[in-house]
């Protein structure tokens, strides 16, 4: 519909499961976090993150209107930070690997950038965490500017 959009990939660092017994056997040795007694999160790895980047790019390339992708280089979720909560194994003991995994995050945004049609989609990396107020403020400013430039602005005013 040619509606301007600012796309911020959030929470791409995790996969949601219900209770620990719902996690398939092939992933039992991964890094987890018990969000609630009924929600178990699993950290995406480098390979999965790269695949997510490819899939996101394929979908975003179909946009008809102006599109901007903002990438928070400081992390994609509250967990994805050097200061995030400590992950666990599925058995509940402390994980040796941290949740914050810059290489996995980088695999996502590198694959995304490599597969985007940059002639149609703007791409911008920001040295901020997704939950920083300045990141949200910048996203709003960018979207407002895109709306003002679009033909939709004249229909609203």
The mean of the pLDDT values for the chain is 93
Does the pLDDT of residue 1 top 90, yes or no?
no
Identify the pLDDT of residue 85: 87
Confirm if 112 and 59 have CB atoms less than 8 A apart: no
The three-state secondary structure class of 112 is helix
Q: Report pLDDT digits (tens) over 61-109.
A: 999 999 999 999 999 999 999 988 889 888 889 988 899 999 999 999 9
In the chain, where are the structural domains located?
Answer: 5-156
Residue in 129, 100, 110, 119 with CA at minimum distance from that of residue 56: 110
**Contact assessment for residue 84 and residue 28, using Cβ atoms and an 8 Å cutoff:** no
Q: Tell me the pTM.
A: 0.91
Tell me which fold the domain 5-156 belongs to. Answer: Rossmann fold (3.40.50)
The pLDDT assigned to 154 comes to 62
Shortest CA distance to 101 belongs to which of 40, 27, 45?
45
Which residues are registered as beta bridge partners of 124? 70
Retrieve residue 135's tokens: 């990141």
């Amino acid at each position: 519909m040619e509606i301007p959009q600012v796309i911020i990939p959030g929470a791409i660092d995790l996969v949601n499961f219900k209770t620990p017994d719902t996690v398939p056997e092939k992933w039992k040795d991964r890094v987890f976090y018990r969000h609630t007694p009924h929600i178990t999160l699993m950290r995406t790895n480098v390979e999965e993150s790269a695949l997510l980047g490819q899939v996101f790019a394929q979908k975003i390339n179909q946009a008809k209107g102006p599109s901007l992708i903002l990438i928070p280089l400081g992390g994609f979720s509250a967990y994805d930070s050097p200061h995030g909560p400590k992950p666990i194994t599925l058995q509940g003991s402390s994980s040796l690997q941290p949740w914050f995994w810059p290489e996995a995050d980088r695999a996502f945004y590198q694959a995304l950038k490599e597969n985007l049609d940059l002639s149609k989609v703007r791409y911008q990396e920001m040295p901020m965490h997704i939950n920083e107020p300045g990141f949200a403020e910048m996203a709003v400013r960018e979207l407002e500017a895109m709306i003002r430039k679009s033909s939709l602005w004249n229909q609203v005013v």
